[in-house]
Amino acid sequence: MDNFDLIYALHTLISKSNSPIKKQTMVEELGCSVETLDKIIKDMRLHLKAPVKYDSKTKGYSYDKSVNPHYELPGLWFNASELYGLFASYQLLSEVGPGLLESHIAPIKEKLESLLESRTMQKGALEQRICILKMAARKPNPKHFSIVATALLMRKQLNIKYSGRDRNKSTERTLSPQRLVHYRDNWYLDAWCHLREKLRTFAIDRIENSRLNNTRAIYIDEAILNDHYKSSYGIFSGTPTKKAILKFNRTVAKWVAEEQWHPEQNGQFDLDGSYQLEIPYRDARELIQDILKFGPDVEVLKPEKLRDEIKQKLEQASMLYKNTKST
Out of 2.60.98, 1.10.150, 1.10.8, 2.30.30, the CATH code matching 142-230 is: 2.30.30
Nearest to 279 by CA among 240, 316, 243, 321: 243
Express each pLDDT in 154-195 by its tens digit.
Answer: 999 999 999 976 666 899 999 999 999 888 878 899 999 999
pTM of the entire structure? 0.60
Please name the residue ranges forming H helices in the chain: 4-16, 23-30, 34-47, 80-95, 102-118, 125-129, 142-154, 222-230, 250-257, 285-292, 304-319
pLDDT of residue 141: 81
What ranges do the domains of the chain cover?
Answer: 4-63, 80-129, 142-230, 242-319
Helices (H) and strands (E) in the chain, counts: 11, 12
Measured distance CA(51)–CA(47) in Å, rounded? 11
* pLDDT band, very low/low/confident/very high, at 7 (cuts 50, 70, 90): confident
Angle at 79 between CA 73 and CA 85, to 5 degrees: 125
pLDDT of residue 84: 62
What is the percent of the chain with per-residue pLDDT over 70, rounded to a whole number? 78
Measured distance CA(222)–CA(76) in Å, rounded? 37
Sorted by sequence, the CB contacts under 8 Å of residue 231 that are 6+ apart come out as 237, 238, 239, 240, 264, 280
pLDDT of residue 120: 47
Express each pLDDT in 199-257 by its tens digit.
Answer: 999 999 999 999 999 899 999 999 998 888 877 777 777 788 999 999 999 999 999 99
CATH architecture, domain 242-319: 2-Layer Sandwich (3.30)
Mean pLDDT of 86-110: 62
Q: Fold identical between 4-63 and 142-230?
A: no
- CB of 257 closer than 8 Å to CB of 275: yes
pLDDT of residue 1: 42
Nearest to 245 by CA among 309, 311, 304: 304
- Per the DSSP assignment, residues forming a β-bridge with 298 are 248
pLDDT of residue 327: 52
Helix, strand, coil percent values for the chain (each to nearest 5): 40, 25, 35
Out of 3.30.470.10, 1.10.3730.10, 3.40.50.170, 1.10.10.10, the CATH code matching 4-63 is: 1.10.10.10
Phi then psi for residue 173, to 5 deg, are -130, 150
Express each pLDDT in 40-58 by its tens digit.
Answer: 999 889 888 899 999 988 8
Sign of the Cα torsion 144, 146, 152, 155 reads: negative
> Over 80: is that where the pLDDT of 14 sits?
yes
pLDDT of residue 143: 84
pLDDT of residue 102: 59
Measured distance CA(69)–CA(197) in Å, rounded? 61
Strand ordering across the sheet containing 275-281: 266-269, 275-281, 242-248, 298-302
At 14, is the secondary structure helix, strand, or coil? Answer: helix
Question: What is the pLDDT of the chain when averaged over all its residues?
Answer: 84
Q: What is the amino acid identity at position 54?
A: Y
